Amino acid sequence: MMGVSATPLPAPAAPPVSSRKKTFYTTLWVQVLLAIGLAIALGYFSPDRSIAMKPLGDAFIKLITMIISLIIFCTVVTGIAGMQDMKKVGRVGGKALVYFEIVSTMALLIGLVVGNLVRPGSGFNVNPATLDAKAVADYAGQAKAQSATDFLMHIIPNTVVDAFAKGDILEVLLVAILFGFALSAVGPRCKPLVDLFNALTHAVFGVVNILMRFAPIGAFGAMAFTVGKYGLISLGPLAKLIGTFYATSILFVLLVLGAIARAAGFGIIRFLVYIKEEILLVLAMSSSEPALPTLMEKLEKLGCSKSLVGLVVPTGYSFNTDGTSIYMTLAALFVAQATNTQLTLMQQLTIFSVAILTSKGASGVQGAAFIALVGTLSVIPTIPVAGMALILGIDRFMSMFRATVNMIGNGVATIVVARWEKEVDGATLRRNLGP
């Protein structure tokens, strides 16, 4: 038998401690916050120049969007292929969908209740005939009633390549799940391919880290355009609606999501601080998609498995739309109240029921929630769809909070499902969230 040398191996050298403390202005959230402040100032004092900044925001969104499909595909494929228990995939997906439906339906109900209690549209006394119906015509053309069958058929792409070409999250997710199951079923023969996707995943997130350096520039361009195009003064006439929606969204996050977070063993405030960069980015861009890659990365650092994050977060972007849900029922009642359209309880419940379906898939992309709302209102003929022109000008300001609540809700949902799966315990979670 071979002897083992008693000579101890030299201890690894301690990494050098940097004598220079990281300055506050080098952190991403500070840079994004400064960019937002500068953009608001430029939009207020020089609207024309601010509108010209729009390509900066659009370019950054396109840069992130171009790589999201690849991130989802690689993350889900490697996660499922590396799972020993294939039943876990179905179990995680089932738990996530049940959670999504319960919480998003609760958000729709909250929007309906707040709309009836606060009545943000009362007192407008708008004559629908005086509204610019053409302004909503383009959105009305895109909005159409969609049955559950239509929605499910939409998830299936025409071809595998078509899913990536369109960048549809749900279609890419379906392809990734099938591919992951196939690699897992084949076993060791596909190990080189699994290793390749693992390496590709690291490379893709490396690209994300490079792109995120441009986040302050993108945030500046998007916010400058919003303020320059619509102006802060445009918020005045509709301040009650905006204030009601903002307050409802904040209370939903702190109270509803806060209670869910507490039950899962962590504090919502600490989680919000943990994802502050993503919150500021979504607020500035009015879209939750730019924050998806880094949100997934941070959730993995908290202790959630790569496969669980890869399944829950992308699915949640279409099925767990808490902010959009609050907006849809609240805005629908606003339009009815502003045009003096009396709604019966049955009509309100009809709006609620239709919104359960139309709100799905209305997150991430700018303007999708507005289109979904037009489609929802079309089922109640007594509500003039032209009344949507009242809130068209402020939709960009509304979408800031819509997208932010959607993103926060998906982060909380992922942690909750991970806790149900016992992937991370409460103590580890609180420790990773930091002080």
Cα dist. 142→347, 373, 375 in Å? 23, 11, 8
pLDDT for 92-104, tens place per residue?
Answer: 888 988 999 999 9
- 11, burial (CB in 10 Å: exposed 0-12, middle 13-18, buried 19+): exposed
Asked whether 39 and 57 are in contact (CB, 8 A), the reply is no
Report the mean per-residue pLDDT for the chain. Answer: 80
* Domains, the chain, with CATH or none: 25-433 (1.10.3860.10)
Cα dist. 130→17, 233, 381 in Å? 68, 22, 18
What local confidence, expressed as pLDDT, does residue 194 receive?
82
Most confident of 86-95, 347-356, 371-380: 347-356
Residue 226 has pLDDT above 50, yes or no: yes
- Within 10 A of 254 (CB to CB), how many other CB atoms are there? 14
Contacts of residue 97, Cβ cutoff 8 Å, sequence gap at least 6: 315, 319
Residue 362 has pLDDT above 60, yes or no: no
CA distance 282 to 16: 36
Give φ, ψ of 362 to 5 degrees.
-100, 25
Most confident of 75-89, 129-143, 266-280: 266-280
Q: Report, as an integer, the average pLDDT of 82-93.
A: 73
pLDDT for 108-126, tens place per residue?
Answer: 999 999 999 998 888 777 7
Q: How many CA atoms lie within 13 A of 363 on its CB side?
A: 37
The residue that leads in pLDDT, 115 or 311, is: 115
Specify the pTM: 0.78
pLDDT for 230-281, tens place per residue?
Answer: 776 666 667 888 899 999 999 999 999 999 999 998 999 999 999 998 998 8
Contacts of residue 130, Cβ cutoff 8 Å, sequence gap at least 6: none
Q: Report, as an integer, the average pLDDT of 78-87.
A: 71
Locus of tokens 């009362």: 122
Locus of tokens 């045009």: 339
First to last CA, the chain: 52
Q: Report, as an integer, the average pLDDT of 363-392.
A: 70
